Structure 1
Amino acid sequence: MAVAAMDVLVNVWDRSVAVQLIGALAWGAVVFCRRFPLSVFLLTLPADLLLDIVFPSCVALFVLAERSRNRRLLAVCAVTFAVVSAAPWPLYGSGENIHALTLVDLIYSLATAAAPVFLGQLLMAQGDLARRVEEIEEAREHERMLHAQAVLARERAQLAREMHDVVSHQVGLIAIQAGALQVSAADPELKEGARTIRSLSVETLNELRHMVTLLRASGGRSTELTPQPTLADLHKLVATSGIEAELTGELPAAIDTTAQRALYRTVQEALTNVRKHAPGAKASVRLWNDGTAFGVTVTNTAATRASLPLPGSHHGLVGLRERAELLHGELEAGSTSGGGYRLALRIPRLPD
């Protein structure tokens, strides 16, 4: 707008009202150049013809070339601009050089019109190229994602085969041997121990089969982890833990399934660690609710005999802490003064 105003002020030498109106029209039309480039171009042609004001027309021509893909329209507009700029208006003189001067002016005017047209088309091509590059990047990202999913599916299938062929087979043998020992044993304690081993082996085998099914599904919608344990299964978990454990306390009436699952897995992990690392220890599972939060505390006494060197991944507590963080809760774990261990999960109650 500033450059257009300077162009008008320099070229409007006539103080007549008509001339000033034509100059003001050419200057004011630039405001609407972005929305109506063709109309603005046509409105600025009288100023180009009568007053040699070319900047508003060049701006409109550039915006039109940047927006339009109609090459024929752009060529017509450029030629029209060149003819209007080179036309001897008003008709002055009749010398011999008038036609030559007009031809030279026409050539220069065509070059002047070509500049904004080419620049506008260049910017349009640049925008098209940028969009095309973006589409290619999106396609490549989608292809990489599909490749990663295919690799993951193959790995999950291989893992499922290994679990089914090796781990499930061995756990099944443990269950069979424990069942045979339960039938043949005469000692009541030995018979009870064999029964516990068989029961835990059967549950482990069922969970392994469920995990194999999930792995083979490769992450589809059918991989819902259902059915999942709830608080109603805590009594069975404690009773079949294979150790002397006691369940006490109560929890709020309405707890969402995610919190129930976290509580169950905490008790399961604690009792499993007692069996592995504290043979002969007694455990206490206490559910509690103080109005602002609820949770579970599992405490065990010191081991009465040496534990066997069993393999472990050391990821159990890490997974429990992640569950607690998802529920904005806290997980505390540590040794007690009597040589035992204490594991506590605290989950804040959400406002109604």
Structure 2
Amino acid sequence: MNRTQTALADAGLIVVAALDAAFNQPAGPLTTAAAVVAVGALLVRRRWPVPVFAVTLPALVLLGSVIATLVALYVVAVRYSNRGLLTACGLLAAAGYFVPGLEFEYPRTDLALTLIYATMTAAAPIFFGRLVHARQELALRLADIRAAREHERELDAQAILAAERNQLAREMHDVVSHQVSLIAVQAGAMSVSTRDPDMKAAAENVRRLSVDTLDELRHMVNLLRASGSSATGLAPQPTLSDLDRLVAGSGIETTMTGTAPEGIDTAVQRTIYRTVQEALTNVRKHAPGSTATIEFAQEDTDLTVTVANSAPTRPTLPLPSARHGLVGLQERAALLGGTVRAGPRPDGGYRLQLRLPLATRHR
């Protein structure tokens, strides 16, 4: 019910209780006060149901005004589920209804009927109150069930959407990414082999656009995969700001000299990071006990990053290697128009050098 209906219902109950008290004709100040207190207490019966029920009992005993007590007992039954409390309140209400008749001499049959009537009168609001309480509990549980089903439907919809996104991400990665990579490599080869300045510029422009498209495509694939998972956001791609942490966590004594120029874009930064990461991984696997150096140098419009290590000082365990890491680095560098060279050093160490053009990669 809305507030207006609730207020009208409260007013109607109080009027009925007041009329019941008036019809019983309070004869003195004590009975009048008991009637006024019983009727007035109904205003706060929802807040303090048990105390209100208690203060209605004097009017029931002294005056026989039963409506206020029954209303208060109903509210107690709606609010509380404790059987002991409800039984005690019911017995008090029945006794309050029955006690005023003790001053009369009833025949045995009438006395039994009065006792039964008092018991039924007290039991009725309790049973009705419990029925309303059960209805409210059922309504709440039905609401919980509806909410749970709605949540399940949302989860099912999210799972379907996640599967579609992952499938789309796989298709983009396996098909589109591969084709764009081939376009970039072939455009780079064309720009190197042709002597026509216009053709060379057009091929270089195609290569640059392909690299940018591939970079955006990879971000889009990551976004699709992350959107279909429980992650709250995308993991950031590594940049040169993460290089110190990489070196510190490599477990290799490493010296870094030089710095990369300011303003290089994120694709170049990721390529440098992955190159250094792969080089340090190879040092740890194939040259235990050695030290490493990382050197940044700029020659005209090219940036070179050289990772070199000394000869191993501990026995080297033979580990299987298909050189996929080095191939991946060469492919990364080729997409940016650069090269990767690697080979042994005369002192028994190893050197890996990345060279990238910077003229067209500055922001």
TM bucket, shorter chain: 0.5 to 0.7
Q: Size of the alignment, in residue pairs? A: 225
2:72 corresponds to which residue? 60
1:212/1:12 CA distance change after superposition, 3 Å? same
Amino acid at match of 1:80: L
Confirm or deny: 8 A CA contact 2:62 2:100 kept in the other structure: no
Q: Once the 2 structures are TM-superposed, how far is the Cα of residue 29 of structure 1 from its aligned partner?
A: 2.5
Asked if 1:3 corresponds to 2:12, the answer is no
1:91/1:161 CA distance change after superposition, 3 Å? same
CA deviations over 1:285-320 (Å, ceiling 9, x no partner)? xxxxxxxxxxxxxxxxxxxxxxxxxxxxxxxxxxxx
Asked if 1:170 corresponds to 2:170, the answer is no
1:210 corresponds to which residue? 219
> TM-score of the superposition, structure 1-length normalised?
0.59
Q: Once the 2 structures are TM-superposed, how far is the Cα of residue 117 of structure 1 from its aligned partner?
A: 0.8
Amino acid at match of 2:132: L
Confirm or deny: 8 A CA contact 2:77 2:129 kept in the other structure: yes
1:33/1:209 CA distance change after superposition, 3 Å? closer
CA distance in 2, matches of 1:86, 1:108: 9
Q: 2:98 aligns with which of 80, 86, 98?
A: 86
Amino acid at match of 2:204: R
Asked if 1:133 corresponds to 2:142, the answer is yes
Asked if 1:47 corresponds to 2:59, the answer is yes
1:223 corresponds to which residue? 234
CA distance in 1, matches of 2:121, 2:181: 88
CA distance in 2, matches of 1:17, 1:207: 90
CA distance in 2, matches of 1:12, 1:18: 12
CA deviations over 1:237-291 (Å, ceiling 9, x no partner)? xxxxxxxxxxxxxxxxxxxxxxxxxxxxxxxxxxxxxxxxxxxxxxxxxxxxxxx
CA deviations over 1:11-31 (Å, ceiling 9, x no partner)? 0153x2233223223222222
CA deviations over 1:84-112 (Å, ceiling 9, x no partner)? 2123546134xxx4332121111112222
CA distance in 1, matches of 2:29, 2:184: 107
Using CA pairs under 8 Å that are at least 6 residues apart, name the structure with larger relative contact order, 1 or 2. Answer: 2
Aligned pairs for 1:9-28 (under 5 A) are 9-12=22-25, 14=27, 16-28=28-40
SS at match of 1:221: coil
CA distance in 2, matches of 1:209, 1:28: 74
Asked if 1:194 corresponds to 2:207, the answer is no
Q: Once the 2 structures are TM-superposed, how far is the Cα of residue 226 of structure 1 from its aligned partner?
A: 7.7
CA distance in 2, matches of 1:217, 1:25: 67
Amino acid at match of 2:70: C
1:117/1:164 CA distance change after superposition, 3 Å? same
CA distance in 2, matches of 1:207, 1:65: 66
CA distance in 1, matches of 2:50, 2:183: 86
CA distance in 1, matches of 2:93, 2:221: 76
1:343 corresponds to which residue? none
1:140/1:221 CA distance change after superposition, 3 Å? same
In structure 1, runs of 5+ residues without a counterpart are 228-232, 234-352
CA distance in 1, matches of 2:34, 2:212: 92
Instruction: Determine what percentage of the aligned residue pairs are the same residue.
Output: 49
CA deviations over 1:28-83 (Å, ceiling 9, x no partner)? 22223222222222222222223221001001100100111112221222122123
Confirm or deny: 8 A CA contact 1:11 1:51 kept in the other structure: yes
CA deviations over 1:155-192 (Å, ceiling 9, x no partner)? 11111111111111111121122122222222211111
Aligned pairs for 1:96-175 (under 5 A) are 97-175=106-184
Aligned pairs for 1:223-262 (under 5 A) are 223=234
Confirm or deny: 8 A CA contact 2:78 2:129 kept in the other structure: yes
Confirm or deny: 8 A CA contact 1:88 1:102 kept in the other structure: no
Amino acid at match of 1:2: V
Amino acid at match of 2:91: V
1:199/1:64 CA distance change after superposition, 3 Å? same
CA distance in 2, matches of 1:71, 1:178: 86
Amino acid at match of 1:37: P
CA distance in 2, matches of 1:72, 1:123: 19
Q: Once the 2 structures are TM-superposed, how far is the Cα of residue 212 of structure 1 from its aligned partner?
A: 1.8
2:310 corresponds to which residue? none
In structure 2, runs of 5+ residues without a counterpart are 1-13, 239-262, 264-363
Confirm or deny: 8 A CA contact 1:185 1:191 kept in the other structure: yes
> TM-score of the superposition, structure 2-length normalised?
0.57
